[in-house]
Amino acid sequence: MNLRQLVPPECVILELENVDHEGVIREMIAHLGKVHSISAEDCERFSHAVIDRELQVGTGLGSGVAIPHARVEGPEQMLAVFARSKEGVDFESPDNAPSHNIVLLIAPEGQTAQHLQTLSELAKVFSQCECREELQAATAAAEISAIFSSGAAQFS
């Protein structure tokens, strides 16, 4: 799995405008919609799927990280967007800490194995304190994309 391909520079939001988790999810999916020319109707459907998934169990991993995600009908490939929040967003992390590094993942309905593999790879990257610190310190989207690539390479 090449996380750099999953999170290219155009799929990076350097600073979120929203501070509540539903607003953040909608903002991140709207960004995906612009990048991938996704219809407003599909963006709304994707937002509902991720928000519904979030209601089942929070997607905060702890250590300032969250990976809101859902499997949905429609997309042919895995879609992701990375965003940062200085203030932090409550994604019900086990450590009760706000999330500052957030990856929103949309997986095609039929790709359960790839979806789980991608979640696992992202969790491994985020488990590295150095990667989390580098993501917070990065000043450009290309830097963030490269951090995902190099972080994933350590687990190849």
**Which residues, in sequence order, are CB contacts of 21 under 8 Å at separation 6+?**
54, 66, 68, 89, 90, 91
SS3 37: coil
Q: Which amino acid, 85? A: S
Percentage of the chain beyond pLDDT 70 is 94
Classify residue 128 as exposed, middle or buried by CB count within 10 Å of its CB (0-12, 13-18, 19+): middle
Q: Domain with 91 in it: what CATH number?
A: 3.40.930.10
pLDDT digits (tens, 9 = 90+) for 2-11: 666 788 999 9
- Average pLDDT in the chain: 90
Q: What is the pTM of this model?
A: 0.91
**Which residues, in sequence order, are CB contacts of 30 under 8 Å at separation 6+?**
43
120: confidence class by pLDDT, cuts 50, 70, 90:
confident
Total number of domains in the chain: 1
Its domain, for residue 60, covers 3-153
DSSP line for 53-100: HHHHS--EEETTEE--EEEESS-SS-EEEEEEEEEEE----TT-PPEE
pLDDT digits (tens, 9 = 90+) for 23-48: 999 999 999 999 999 999 999 999 99
